[in-house]
A and B are shown apart, each in its own frame.
Chain A
Amino acid sequence: MTIPSTEPAPKGAVSQEWEMFVERGKIREFATAMQSDNPDYAGADAIVPPTFLITAAQWAPPGVRLTLGFERKRLLHGEQEYIFHGALPTAGDRLLARERVVDRFEKPGKKGGLMRFAVIATEFHSPEGELIAEARGTFIETAAKEGAK
């Protein structure tokens, strides 16, 4: 079941799928930004650098991705992880991406209130349905200040 994008997505929710094309020029641009001259990130058979899949968001049409429901001013990116299940995505590959809410939980804030956590995985499949890679982000909504709305 896909979740309407305006509602905060609960644990287990899965987004609609979107296409991502792994482009040689984008890999080159990304490698330049990460100050890498590694030849593996160049040429027709360039592979993706470990954090390159962050660019998948640029391929998502409006309204496809899950809604976290956290207040933007209190939102922190706590952790980010990339897992590769085989050969790395390579220039020319077409991937199918979808988001999944892996976990949601809360902890008391150090100064009162509640901190809310969400672990969101973006799963990348080949057109044949094979799981190629996963990106896992842990997002934190810090506790609201006393008396603040």
Chain B
Amino acid sequence: MSRRDLVGATLSFPALALFALFAIYPGLRVFYLSLFDYSLTSPATFVGLENFRFLATDPRFHEALLNSLFYTVGTYLPALVLALMLAMALHRRMAGGGWIRLLYFLPVATSWVAISVVWRLVLHPHGLLNQTLGLDVTWLTSSAAAPWALVIMSVWKETGFFLILFLAGLSRLPREVFEAAQVDGAGAWRRFWHITFPLLKPVTAICSVMAIIRGLQAFSPQVVLTDGGFGTEVVNLFVYKTAFENARMGRASAVAVFMFFVLICVTLAQLRLFRREDA
């Protein structure tokens, strides 16, 4: 190791130490706790895989998984498609383009809690959404509507995040390819489908991985808007209630471990899918 490397390693030590203390250790501790029955107040009792067995047959956990899945697909599929469409429209230079991008990004920069509080008013039976659309839907107090209410709000909030990523990707595409295709008579749709979309695959891969992670880690809007009622108790909210309201730390840790592996598997599958199609 050169002296320069040594200095670099030394300088990185404080950050690594903090990371180990506040990220690696708690993470490992969760794995450990998932094998115990632990309520904070009494010594942890080793139960092996009992927490996982319980979850495998727990209807409430199954419902939370389905709710998370619905929220993730319902929110992030439209958000990604919308973001790509908007990016295609906005990446060309146009008057006020910067302002329009900023407007789309504003919800991303605002906290989930603040946005959720505002949307509580929007989604009230006599709120803006019903009045504007002439509807009579009780968005937050019905199992049929509440999951959709969260999806609508989240699509509105999250589209801007992916818009920025797609815009960054589009700005790096080589112009000459598009010019050549245009000269060859390729229309706008063919240019998008055969050139833009394939070239954007690395960005799309990142966006889809982030979308799945963000979707499965959702928590704040469900807490603020419905507190998990009416079919909106997602996995992270289930973990929170299990751990901190019901003091079942072992069971909550088991869910966290399970979701860790789910996320790892889904992410690897996504990356592999994009890599294979890319090859």
Do chains A and B stick together as partners? no
Please report B residues at the A interface, Cβ cutoff 8 Å: none
Please report A residues at the B interface, Cβ cutoff 8 Å: none
